């Protein structure tokens, strides 16, 4: 029991006002406690320019005259202890703003919110759930992510499965059905689209009003805790899309909270995100820094989230991002870098890794800003991964090209290796690429209906064997044909059709093969573990390369035919002599392919080719990826291979 919950800690208030209270959610917001031998709730809210603030709720008939708050000195934080109320109480803050206007505001630090369209905050205790994921937490400490497989299944919980519009699966139901599915498919992580409370279903959570309040659409907070716990007990990490760059304009939220630009900049050119209809955070205010960094730690502390995918980094760090000329501003040096946002990001990553050194901080960054995944102490932004948007754009542009014309765009598939090791990359095939008229991945593929599936299997084979961790959006694993429809569930009935069912089996096999082969993930960040065999065969639209790992001397050889021409006897160089075994052929009939005969084993022999000591000759069907591995590695041949650092 706190001795004086009513007054708050002067040290905490000082740290909040100086941008250093990194667990501010323990001080501000609504907390059930005891004071003067009475049980009740302590409320605290930051509103420095308000003329008065009251707590209103069912307990006082929403009458602001009943429970007026007091400001704690000159800190801008208003505080009040209300006796004889507790968990489950609905409440808001009645703010008499700087202009004398009365507003009802939701609690910025609320742990729970009403189901939309209602907007009241709810008193909640988030410390009651009994976690059972200790083994997961321990193994995470023992196994750094860089040398581990990372295959992320990106999920929008509301539309993964839906019985009818707005009839969502609950967190508790998803803890069984979704987790069983993800484990069976062989994914290592789930990435959840944002779960902070938001008023509009179709914003998918990217326009947030309740940054500390897990959305009530899918049930109470303990349901989300159960979902994460179940993931961990099944060996699955949980990542969360996190949106610190902007917030929703709805009047019950953060906008003009005390009648002034409080969470947003006072300069409308800085505040207004016209493209998204939202407002940017003011990263120059210390209290906003405390609010946001505390929020990052909150999801890790309270919900055991294993990492954050930080949304829209490019829009945060560039003052000119998507702005017309008359809305652009420059920093004090006359350039477009948002210096306060960059400082915020560096501090964010330093603090997160100080408390959670084994977690992930992933930048969704479409810019060319350097050293995004370099540590802060070396001059970087401090993330440990970045989405490779360049790879994604180039590869999809190439794959959408008719196979007969791909030879002229060959460099789109090879350019990424020039910069693949400049950052720690995730290769995303995300929700952003299958909405807003962009079409699904399957629908993007050219050619006849069977060719579309062949192209998609080929794309997945190349994606899985290219250096970098992996992310795939839900539905893409079985060839969702329509683009993602956020208002209905995925088209699971497609699994009754043979080609979609075959695609589903193929992706499960590819996922499991990825996990089994350290060559495909152990040295993602080391250039000497990747070697082109033939990078220049644009005429035939064929690429071949091999990959190495620290833990094995055996290379894995990959060859991809992006043309619609089959090559019955295609010869290419390989790094070692001996017998090679076929691990994957995307043309297999069981995967929906043509099933053209390809031997399971072939012998590497003369002549040397492509600068390699020997070669193999194989049938290479059209629109096919094949993965081969030497059956035995002669010790005397190992010196011919690059050794990963």
Please state, in angstroms and rounded to a whole number, the distance separating the CA atoms of residues 183 and 189.
Answer: 9
Strand order in the sheet with 278-280: 246-247, 278-280, 272-273
Q: Is 317 in contact with 342 (CB distance < 8 Å)?
A: yes
295: tokens are 């929020």
Residue with tokens 């919110």: 113
Quick one: three-class SS letters along 547-567? ECCCCCCCCEEEEEECCCCCE
Residue with tokens 């009651």, as numbered in its chain: 128
Bridge partners of residue 39, in order along the sequence: 34
Dihedral over Cα of 45, 253, 21, 2: its sign: positive
Instruction: Quote the tokens at residue 6.
Output: 């009513």
CA separation for the pair 586, 438 (Å, rounded): 25
The two beta strands, 151-155 and 469-473, are: parallel
Helix (H) or strand (E) holding 340: helix 339-355
Residues 6 or more apart whose CB falls under 8 angstroms from that of 102 comprise 64, 94, 95, 96
Give me the helices (H) in 377-434, please.
389-399, 411-414
Listed in sequence order, the DSSP H helices in 334-482 are 339-355, 389-399, 411-414, 441-444, 449-465
Strands 112-113 and 121-122: antiparallel
DSSP category for residue 588: -
Per-residue buried b or exposed e for 257-282, using 16+ beta carbons within 10 Å of the residue's own CB: bbbebbbbbeeeebbbbeebebbbbb
| Helix ranges restricted to H, 93-155 | 134-142
Rounded to whole angstroms, how far apart are CA atoms 421 and 622? 31
For the stretch 251-256, contacts whose Cβ atoms lie closer than 8 Å and that sit 24 or more positions apart, written own/partner, are 251/103, 252/92, 252/104, 252/105, 252/106, 252/119, 252/209, 253/105, 253/106, 253/209, 253/210, 254/108, 254/209, 254/279, 255/279, 256/97
Helix (H) or strand (E) holding 315: helix 313-317
Enumerate the active-site residues. Answer: 311, 364
Q: Cα Rg for the chain, rounded, in angstroms? A: 27
Distance between CA 566 and CA 619 in Å, rounded?
8
Query: Residue 387: in which H helix or E strand, if any?
Result: strand 385-387
β-strand partners of 429 = 472
Secondary structure class of 428 (helix, strand, coil)? strand
Distance of alpha carbon 246 from alpha carbon 314, whole angstroms: 12
Return d(Cα 645, Cα 115) in angstroms, integer.
53
């Amino acid at each position: 029991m706190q001795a004086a919950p009513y007054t708050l800690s002067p040290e905490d208030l000082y740290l909040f006002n100086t941008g250093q209270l990194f667990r501010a959610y323990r001080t501000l917001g609504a907390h059930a406690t005891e004071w003067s031998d009475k049980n009740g709730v302590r409320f605290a809210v930051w509103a420095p320019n308000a003329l008065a603030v009251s707590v209103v709720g069912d307990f006082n008939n929403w009458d602001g005259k009943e429970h007026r708050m007091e400001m704690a000195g000159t800190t801008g934080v208003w505080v009040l202890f209300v006796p004889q109320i507790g968990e489950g109480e609905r409440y808001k803050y009645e703010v008499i703003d700087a202009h004398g206007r009365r507003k009802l505001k939701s609690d910025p630090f609320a742990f729970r919110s009403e189901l939309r369209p209602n907007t009241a905050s709810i008193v909640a205790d988030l410390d009651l759930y009994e976690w059972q994921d200790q083994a997961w937490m321990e193994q995470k400490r023992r196994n750094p992510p860089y040398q581990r497989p990372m295959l992320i299944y990106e999920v929008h919980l509301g539309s993964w499965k839906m019985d009818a519009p707005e009839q969502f699966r609950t967190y508790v139901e998803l803890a069984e059905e979704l987790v069983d599915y993800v484990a069976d498919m062989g994914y290592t992580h789930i990435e959840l689209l944002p779960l902070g409370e938001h008023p509009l279903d179709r914003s998918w959570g990217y326009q947030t009003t309740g940054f500390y309040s897990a959305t009530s659409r899918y049930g109470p907070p303990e349901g989300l805790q159960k979902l994460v716990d179940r993931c961990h007990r099944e060996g699955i990490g949980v990542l969360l899309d996190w949106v610190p760059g902007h917030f929703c304009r709805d009047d019950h939220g953060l906008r003009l909270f005390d009648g002034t630009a409080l969470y947003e900049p006072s300069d409308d050119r800085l505040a207004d995100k016209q493209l998204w209809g939202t407002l940017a955070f003011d990263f120059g205010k210390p209290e906003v820094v405390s609010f946001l960094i505390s929020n990052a730690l909150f999801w890790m502390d309270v919900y055991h989230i294993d990492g954050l995918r930080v949304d829209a980094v490019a829009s945060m760090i560039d003052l000119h991002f998507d702005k017309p000329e008359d809305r652009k501003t420059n920093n004090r040096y006359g350039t477009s870098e948002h210096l306060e946002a960059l400082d915020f990001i560096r501090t964010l990553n330093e603090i997160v890794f100080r408390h959670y050194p084994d977690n992930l901080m992933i930048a969704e960054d479409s810019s060319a800003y350097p050293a995004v995944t370099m540590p802060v102490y070396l001059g970087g932004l401090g993330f440990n991964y970045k989405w490779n948007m360049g790879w994604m754009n180039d590869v999809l542009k190439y794959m959408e090209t008719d196979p007969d014309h791909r030879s002229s765009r060959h460099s789109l598939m090879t350019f990424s290796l020039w910069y693949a090791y400049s950052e720690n990359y995730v290769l995303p095939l995300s929700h952003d690429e299958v909405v807003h008229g962009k079409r699904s991945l399957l629908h993007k593929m050219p050619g006849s209906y069977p060719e579309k599936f062949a192209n998609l299997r080929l794309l997945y084979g190349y994606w899985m064997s290219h250096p970098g961790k992996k992310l795939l959006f839900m539905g893409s694993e079985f060839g969702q044909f329509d683009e993602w429809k956020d208002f209905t569930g995925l088209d699971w009935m497609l699994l009754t059709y043979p080609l979609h069912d075959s695609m589903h089996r193929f992706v499960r096999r590819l996922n499991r093969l990825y996990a089994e082969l350290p060559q495909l993930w152990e040295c993602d960040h080391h250039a000497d573990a990747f070697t082109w065999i033939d990078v220049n065969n644009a005429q035939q639209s064929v690429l071949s390369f091999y990959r190495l790992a620290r833990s094995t001397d055996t290379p894995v050889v990959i060859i991809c035919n992006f043309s619609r021409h089959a090559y019955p006897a295609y010869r290419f160089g390989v790094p070692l002599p001996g017998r090679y075994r076929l691990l994957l052929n995307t043309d297999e009939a069981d995967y929906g392919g043509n099933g053209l005969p390809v031997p399971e084993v072939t012998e590497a022999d003369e002549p040397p080719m492509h600068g390699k000591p020997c070669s193999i000759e194989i049938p290479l069907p059209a629109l096919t990826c094949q993965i081969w591995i030497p059956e035995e590695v002669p010790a005397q041949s190992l010196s011919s291979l690059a050794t990963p650092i």
